[in-house]
Structure 1
C-alpha cells in the first residue's frame, strides 16, 4: 500500500448496493475533514468525540439523498452538551467534493471524564433538508435514543421514514508511525430498499429526498436484512477506520455473497458557507434601534461564525433595513 492509495481513501464516501439483498449502503472515511472541523475549536475530549461521530453520520446520510443544496443534522439536549449542529452541502458541480461543517455548544463546567454520550441528556435528534430556492424545507424530529448518536439516527429512519437502517461507526485519534496524532473516522451505513420504495434505484428519490411512504418488508426481505446485519456485526474498528483496508476490500470481505456493486466515489471536504454578505442579509430585518443595541463601544457590530471561526466587523450605518449608507460607501 502506498501513501497515495491511503490519501485516495481518506475523506471519501463510497456508495454501494447489495444486489442479492435489495440493500444499499455507504462506506465513509474521514480524516482531514475532521481536522478541519475540530481545529476551529478547543473542545474537551468527550465533545470532540461527539462532533466526530455526528460529522460521520452526516457524511453517510447526506450522500444517500439526491440533494440540490443542504442536509442538516441537529441534536438538542438538556445535558452538558446542549447542541450539536452539522451541515452537508452537496457538490455544486458534478465531480466536485461535497462539503461538511459542524460545531457543538456545551457547558464546559459540566464536562466530565465519563463516556461522550452520557453528556447528552433528554432532547431530540432532527434531520433538516433544504433543497434551496423554490422548494419547501423538510424537517423530521425524533426523541434521543439510548446507545449513542448512531442509535438516534437509526431510530429516526425507523420511526419517521419507515426505512430499516443500520450504522457501524468507529472514530478516534490516529497515532500512525511518522504522522502527527489526528482524528480519523470510518463507518458503514446499510438501508433496506424494497422494490416498491422510491429509493430502490440509487438516483430515484422523492422531491425532498426522504420518503414518507410506509416501508413494507416481507419475510424474504426480513431474512435478507437479518443476514446482512449479522455480516456487518463481524466488522472491527481497524477495518472501519483504515488506513490498511480499502473500502472495496471491506465490502468484499463482509458481503461477497451478497454481490456488492459500487458506484462513483464521492470526495468530501471541510467547508463553510459563511460570508459578510450572509451576515448582512441576516441583519437586514433589524431596525436602526436594534442595530444600535448590537453596536459595541468601539462603534462596530461584530459577528462570529460558530462553524469556522470567521470574525466579521461591520459598520452599523450600513446595516438593517434603515441603513444610512450602502457597504463601501464613504460618503
Structure 2
C-alpha cells in the first residue's frame, strides 16, 4: 500500500479549498524532481537545504497562479550564498506536467557547513517574477529578506505586495525507504486567504519585521478568526506527514482540516525541466563583438557554455557567434 501511495502522489501539487474559512491551499510532494535538482550538483548541506526549500515554494506558488508561461523565484544576498534561482513552467497543454528547475551560486570558501543556510544569504531581497510570454510585460515583486527562512520571506511577499495572507509549512531532507537508496524528499502545505475587495491602509506600516505587512494587518473580525483557526490546525502537522509517502495528501487534509470542510481539485503533476538550448545560448552571445568572443575562446579554439540548472554542456565555433559572426552555424553544432 505504501508503494502505491508513493507512486500516486510523488511530484504532484494538489489544490484544495477550505469552504468554511474562505481559504485556498496547496499540498505539494516532490521526490524525483528534487532529487534531480540536487544530485547533479555538489552543494554544501546548507545550500542544499535552501535550494530544496526554494524548489518546494516554487511548486506551491506556481500552481496558484493562472500562468501561461513562467514564474521564477530569485533570492539574492551579500553573504556566502549569493543567488538562489528557480523557474516554474506552466503545463504546455491540458494533462501535461509543469516543469521546475533550480540553481544556487555560492562562495565555497565562505559557506559554513554547520551554520543555518538562511543566515548565510546575508542582506538582500526575495523576488517573484512572472512572465506570461510574448506580448506581455513581465511583472516583478520584491521584498527584503526577513523572518529567518525563505518560507517567511514568501509569506511577507504575499502580505506586502499582494495583500494576501499566506502561510507555508514545509519539510524536506534525505529519505531512505526499505529496499530503496537514499534520495531527497520534500512536502509542504500552503494556505492563502482569498483576495479581499479592499486593500489595507499601509501609511503607518505593518506589524512585521521592518514595518512590513503581516496577515494580522490585513484580516480582522470573522476573517481574522478563520485565518487564525486554520493556522492553529496547520501547526499540528508533523514533518513526516508532510513528506509522506505513508500519508496521501487527501488524508492529510482530512486529518488537519476536517472541520473546515476541505474540498480538493485535480492534482497537477510536476517534473524536472530545463529550457536551455544551443540556440538560446547563441542568442545570449549575439550582443558581443568578435573581440569579446575572442576572449571567451579556449585554447582549443572553441567557446563553451554550461547550463547552471541542468548541467548541459555546449560547444561553439567562435566564428559563428556574436554580431560580427563570419559564418552560419552548422546544423549539428
Q: How does 1:270-309 map to 2 (within 5 A)?
A: 270-309=272-311
Residues 153-232 of structure 1 mapped to structure 2, 5 A cutoff: 153-194=154-195, 196=197, 217-232=219-234
Q: Distance between the aligned counterparts of 2:104 and 2:128, measured in 1?
A: 16
2:321 corresponds to which residue?
A: 319
Q: 2:70 maps to which residue?
A: 70
DSSP 3-state at the match of 1:108: coil
Number of the residue aligned with 2:134:
133
| Root mean square deviation of aligned Cα | 1.6
Aligned partner of 1:17 in structure 2 is 17
2:79 maps to what in 1? 79
- Aligned residue for 2:96? 96
CA distances 1:210-247 after superposition (whole Å, capped 9, x unpaired): xxxxx964411111101101110010101100011100
The TM-score with structure 2 as length reference comes to 0.91
Q: Distance in 1 between matches of 2:322 and 2:315?
A: 15
- Determine the structure 2 residue equivalent to 1:245: 247
Does the residue aligned with 2:33 lie in a helix, a strand or coil?
A: helix
Q: Give 1:147 deviation, angstroms.
A: 2.1
Corresponding position of 1:143: 144
Asked if the contact 1:10–1:31 (Cα under 8 Å) also holds between the matched residues in 2, the reply is yes
Shift of 1:289: 2.0
**Whole-angstrom distance in 1 between the partners of 2:154 and 2:318:** 42
Q: 1:264 to 1:182 in 2, by over 3 A?
A: same
Cα-to-partner distance string for 1:159-197 (whole Å, 9 max, x where unaligned):
111110000000111022211111110000000004638
* Counterparts in 2 of 1:312 and 1:237: CA distance versus 1, 3 Å: same
2:260 paired residue number: 258
Normalising by structure 1, report the TM-score.
0.92
Deviations 1:140-163 (A, max 9, x none): 110001221100100111111111
- Deviation readout 1:239-277 (Å, 9 max, x if unpaired): 100011100000001111111111110000011110001
Cα 1:167–1:328 change in 2 (3 A) is same
- In 2, Cα distance between equivalents of 1:51 and 1:58: 10
Is the 1:21–1:221 contact (alpha carbons within 8 Å) kept by the matching residues of 2?
Answer: yes
Provide the residue aligned with 2:206 in structure 1: none
Q: Is the 8 A contact 1:194 1:221 kept in 2?
A: no
Query: Structure 2 unaligned runs (5+)?
Result: 199-216
Paired residue for 1:34?
A: 34
Deviations 1:12-60 (A, max 9, x none): 0000011111100000000100111011111111111110011000000
Which residue of 1 is the match for residue 207 of structure 2? none
Alignment of 1:49-68 (within 5 A): 49-68=49-68
- Judge conservation of contact 2:119–2:148 (CA < 8 Å) in 1: no
What CA distance in whole angstroms lies between the structure 2 residues aligned with 1:20 and 1:329?
Answer: 59
Separation in 1 of the partners of 2:87 and 2:104? 12
CA distance in structure 2 between the partners assigned to 1:109 and 1:292 by the alignment: 30
Q: Distance in 1 between matches of 2:59 and 2:130?
A: 14
* Separation in structure 1 between the aligned mates of residue 196 and residue 126 of structure 2, nearest angstrom: 29
Alignment check: 8 A CA contact 1:168 1:188 kept: yes
**Structure 2: how far apart are the matches of 1:219 and 1:73?**
33
Aligned residue pairs total 314
